[in-house]
Amino acid sequence: MPTISGKKILITGGAGFIGYHLARELSRDRVNRVDLVDNFVRGKKDDEVESLSTLPNVRLIAGDLTDPATFARLDTDYDDVYHLAAIIGVSNVIERPHEVVRVNAVATLFLLDWFTKSTCRKLLFSSTSEAYAWTQQFHPLPVPTPEEVPLALTDLANPRSSYAGSKIFGELAVHNYCRMFGKPFTIVRYHNVYGPRMGYEHVIPQLFERARGGQNPLVVYSADHRRAFCYVDDAIAMTIGAMCSPAADNQTINIGNDHEEHSIGELAQRLLIQAGIASAIEPRTAEHDPIVRRCPDITKARELLGYQPRITLDEGLAGTLAWYAQKFRTNEAP
C-alpha cells in the first residue's frame, strides 16, 4: 500500500463499497484527515460507517452532490479529492435510467465547478469498465482491453447506455475542466471489484445467498461469460497509487486483476467449494448482460504505478463469503 501521511482528503460516495474501504485505509494514519460525503441513497450508514465516523480524523457529511448547497459545506483546500459518488447497479440502470444520467452528470459538473475554483490539489474520477461495453458489442476490441481504445455509445435507446454514457461524459468533463484550469487529475476504470460490503446487487452475494438457501441446482446466469475479478484491497492499493503517483497525473488507468479472469460458471463452482456446499449448477441466459468477455489490460498500471495484483480469487472469496455469512446469520441486509 502506498505511504500517505499528513494529507487532507475528500471522498465523495464515502459510504459506498469502494468509498468505505478507501476511507478506512486512508484514515489508518491518524495524521490524515478524511472527509466523507454521501447522501446514503446507495451507500449505507451502517455500523461500519458509523464506527469509521467516530475516529477523530474522520468527518461524515450527509449531502446531495446534485445540490449546490452541499459544496458550501465542504472545505476548499483538500490535498486529494476522490470522486466516487454515482448511481450504479443493473436494477437502477434498467428501472430509472433518467436518474442515473441526471445524478451522475450533474454531481460531476457541480463538483468540477467547485474543484476548479478551489485550492484543492488533485482529482481522481472513478469510471468503469462499462465505458468499453457498447464499443465492444458493436466493434472489435482487443481483450484484455487497453485504455486507449475508442469509446462509443451505439444504442442510446437501451437503458443500459445510461450508466456507460454518464461515465464517458464524466471522463470528458474531467479532461476538459481540469486541463482548462491547470488541475492534475487521474481517471480510473474499475473492473469487477468485489469484497466485503459490496452490497447485494452483485453476482457473488446473490449466488452465495441462493446456495445457502438450498437452491439446487444453483441457477447461474451468463455462466459462459468471462470476467476478471479484482479483490477490493488490490483495487484500493491501485486507487491510492493512482492518486499519489505523479506519473499517473492526467492519465486514464484500468484497475483490475488480469490474473483472475474466469467464467461466471467457474466463479460459482469456486464459491460452492469455499462455502462447503454441494450443489449442481444450472446455466441460464441473462436478459441484460450482452458483454461476453471483459478483462482489463493493466500494463499502464504496472508501468506507472508498479502495481501487481496480490489477492487470488480463492483468497478474496474466502474473505468475502465470511463477511456475508456473518451478515446472513445476524439477519442484516448486505
Asked if 286 and 173 count as a contact pair (C-beta separation under 8 A), the reply is no
Structure confidence at residue 135 (pLDDT): 87
The reply to whether 334 falls in a domain is no
Q: Residue 107 sits in which domain range?
A: 8-329
Look up the pTM and report it: 0.96
> Which H/E stretch holds residue 27?
helix 17-27
The reply to whether 1 falls in a domain is no
> Which H/E stretch holds residue 43?
none
Nearest to 311 by CA among 232, 254, 204: 232
Active site residues: 163
Structure confidence at residue 154 (pLDDT): 79
* Domains identified in the chain, total number: 1
The reply to whether 24 falls in a domain is yes
The reply to whether 222 falls in a domain is yes
Q: Which residue is listed with cell 504496472?
A: 302
Asked if 86 and 127 count as a contact pair (C-beta separation under 8 A), the reply is no
The reply to whether 2 falls in a domain is no
CATH of the domain at 58: 3.40.50.720
Nine-digit cell at 293? 468477455
Asked if 221 and 286 count as a contact pair (C-beta separation under 8 A), the reply is yes
pLDDT digits (tens, 9 = 90+) for 158-176: 888 999 999 999 999 999 9
Give how far Cα 90 sits from Cα of 27, 168, 273, Å. 31, 17, 27
The reply to whether 191 falls in a domain is yes
Structure confidence at residue 334 (pLDDT): 61
Residue segments in the chain with a per-residue pLDDT below the cut of 50: none
Tell me the three state secondary structure of residue 314.
helix
Structure confidence at residue 3 (pLDDT): 53
Structure confidence at residue 85 (pLDDT): 97
The reply to whether 34 falls in a domain is yes
Largest CA distance in the chain: 58
Contacts of 196 (CB under 8 A, 6+ apart): 232, 319, 320, 323, 324
The reply to whether 3 falls in a domain is no
Structure confidence at residue 333 (pLDDT): 58
Give CA torsion, residues 172, 38, 66, 125, to 10 deg: -10
pLDDT digits (tens, 9 = 90+) for 102-124: 999 999 999 999 999 999 999 99
